[in-house]
């Protein structure tokens, strides 16, 4: 079943039909605060994007703080009895840590670096979950030292290594990441619930059951539940229900074999958002109702106590809250195509090159009466694959100096950014109530040169 976020405005954009977003002056996939302004400008959080570009330079990432907070609250409303844990990999900075904490969410980290940033921002370690298919010794040692609430075990070799660093007389709470054998997600590279990929432990071949037994045999580890993450950019409820059924079955087998009823079940995140008008999104309230019913029914059949749920949304919290603004550097017309080159590209957004993601860029800052042409928006980097948006309509008179804004840019842009061609990473600017402030400053040439210490 394909559904949308129509029933809860605070989780997604306005909708007019199940599974699709309604057009809102062409801003349906923008932050809800986005409104058209004079001279073809757009206001986000009451802040002019053209003024933000002038003030902070381009490229610039603009993040609507109110939207982020409302999306956090919407998850808590939809799942009032669950733990909502923000997936830091989507985007992390100290301000984001604070917003998540103030809205009552936990935090999911994948490295000692993400964990250290969260700790420096004062996030309670007991509300942190540590992930990773190949955790380094530093990752595990930092997690144990800081006292993170749960560590998700992703391989059998990790079990002994983790137990060896837990201090005598204490116990570290862990979950076992299970592969339920479910294919879900917007691209093959983000489908993580299938067999024969790098994440988790398979139910089918017995690896998950073997890991459970090994954890239970470690006196310094406390097995508190099972975990799965079946993929990303999922827009239907059905795969989550299948995962719940399979993990409930495993919970029953663990009870029968080991006499232990595990109190927690983490079904991950991967909730899909719309990048272009008309695309499907995941209806979070519908997900909540269907998952809750499936879990309760399965536990009743198996005579199990219903475990406490955990969810790990990332993209669905921060993705729709972000807009990136680029400046056009060049326009090149070939025999069959028009290329519009901007001052960013795959160094600040590698997703189109990795997954073929498509966006809906918009010309802002000047009115154009020229009919639209199909153009390809490309970046400035030395790769033919540095394409930000392929075959998209823009004003036929687009020219150097114009501003182009791309919505749905809050997740997996800067968190995946690189130093390719030594082009500094853009700043992140928060907007709220007409006020803009820098959260993460632009990376300078001096920043990059300081790391180069040898001749």
How far is residue 273's CA from residue 270's CA, in Å, rounded to a whole number? Answer: 9
Beta-carbon contacts of 419 under 8 Å, excluding residues fewer than 6 positions away, are 347, 425, 448
Rounded distance, CA 65 to CA 401, Å?
Answer: 28
| DSSP-derived 3-state class of residue 145 | helix
Those residues with Cβ within 8 angstroms of residue 392's Cβ, 6 or more apart along the chain or in another chain: 358, 359, 360, 361, 374, 375, 376, 377
Question: How far, in Å, are 124, 347, 423 from residue 381 at the CA level?
Answer: 40, 8, 9
Beta-carbon count within 10 A of 115 CB: 24
CA distances from 366 to 320, 344, 389 (A): 24, 20, 21
Q: Which residues contact 34 (CB under 8 A, 6 or more apart)?
A: 27, 42, 43, 44, 323, 407
Q: Which residues contact 335 (CB under 8 A, 6 or more apart)?
A: none
Residue 451: count of CB within 10 angstroms of its CB: 7
3-class secondary-structure state, position 297: helix
Alpha carbon 85 to its chain centroid, in Å, reads: 11
Percentage helix, strand, coil, to 5, in the chain? Answer: 30, 25, 45
Is 415 strand, coil or helix?
Answer: helix
Q: Residue 336's CB: how many other CB atoms inside 10 A?
A: 5
List residues with catalytic annotation: 382
Q: Which one, of 13, 24, 32, 65, lies nearest residue 281 by Cα?
A: 13
**158: its two tokens:** 């990790």
**What count of other Cβ atoms lies within 10 Å of the Cβ of residue 177?**
25
Q: From CA 412, how far away is CA 409, in angstroms rounded?
A: 8
In whole angstroms, what is the distance from residue 239 CA to residue 153 CA? 22
Phi-psi category of 448—alpha, beta or left, where left has phi over 0 and alpha has psi -120 to 50?
alpha
């Amino acid at each position: 079943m394909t559904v949308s976020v129509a029933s809860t405005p605070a989780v997604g954009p306005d909708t007019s039909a199940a599974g699709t977003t309604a057009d809102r002056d062409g801003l349906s996939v923008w932050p809800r605060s986005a409104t058209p302004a004079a001279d073809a400008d757009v206001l986000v959080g009451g802040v002019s994007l053209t003024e933000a570009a002038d003030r902070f330079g381009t490229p610039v990432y603009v993040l609507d703080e109110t939207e982020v907070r409302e999306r956090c609250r919407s998850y808590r409303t939809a799942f009032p009895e669950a733990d909502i844990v923000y997936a830091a990999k989507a985007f992390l900075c100290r301000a984001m840590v604070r917003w998540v904490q103030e809205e009552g969410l936990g935090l999911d980290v994948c490295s000692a670096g993400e964990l250290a940033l969260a700790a420096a921002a004062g996030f309670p370690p007991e509300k942190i979950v540590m992930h990773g298919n190949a955790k380094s010794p530093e990752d595990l040692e930092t997690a144990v030292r800081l006292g993170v609430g749960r560590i998700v075990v992703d391989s059998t070799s990790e079990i002994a290594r983790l137990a060896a660093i837990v201090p005598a007389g204490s116990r570290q709470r862990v979950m076992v990441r299970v592969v339920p054998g479910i294919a879900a997600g917007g691209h093959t590279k983000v489908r993580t619930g299938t067999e024969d990929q790098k994440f988790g432990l398979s139910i089918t071949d017995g690896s998950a059951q073997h890991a459970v037994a090994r954890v239970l045999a470690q006196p310094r580890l406390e097995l508190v539940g099972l975990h799965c993450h079946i993929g990303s950019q999922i827009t239907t409820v059905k795969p989550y229900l299948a995962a719940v059924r399979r993990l409930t079955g495993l919970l029953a087998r663990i009870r029968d074999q080991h006499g232990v009823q595990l109190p927690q079940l983490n079904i991950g995140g991967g909730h899909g958002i719309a990048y272009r008008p008309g695309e499907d999104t995941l209806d979070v309230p519908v997900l909540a109702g269907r998952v809750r019913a499936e879990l309760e029914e399965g536990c009743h059949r198996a005579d199990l106590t219903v475990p406490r749920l955990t969810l790990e949304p990332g993209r669905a919290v921060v993705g729709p809250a972000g807009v990136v603004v680029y400046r056009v550097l060049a326009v090149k017309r070939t025999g069959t195509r028009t290329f519009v080159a901007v001052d960013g590209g795959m160094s600040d957004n590698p997703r189109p090159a990795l997954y073929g993601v498509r966006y809906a860029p918009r010309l802002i800052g000047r009115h154009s009466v020229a009919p639209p042409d199909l153009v390809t928006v490309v970046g400035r980097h030395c790769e033919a694959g540095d394409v930000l948006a392929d075959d998209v309509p823009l004003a036929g008179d687009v020219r150097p100096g114009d501003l182009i804004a791309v919505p749905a840019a809050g997740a997996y842009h800067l968190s995946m950014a690189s130093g390719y061609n030594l082009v500094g990473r853009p700043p992140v600017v928060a907007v709220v109530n007409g006020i803009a402030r820098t959260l993460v400053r632009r990376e300078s040439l001096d920043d990059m040169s300081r790391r180069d210490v040898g001749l």
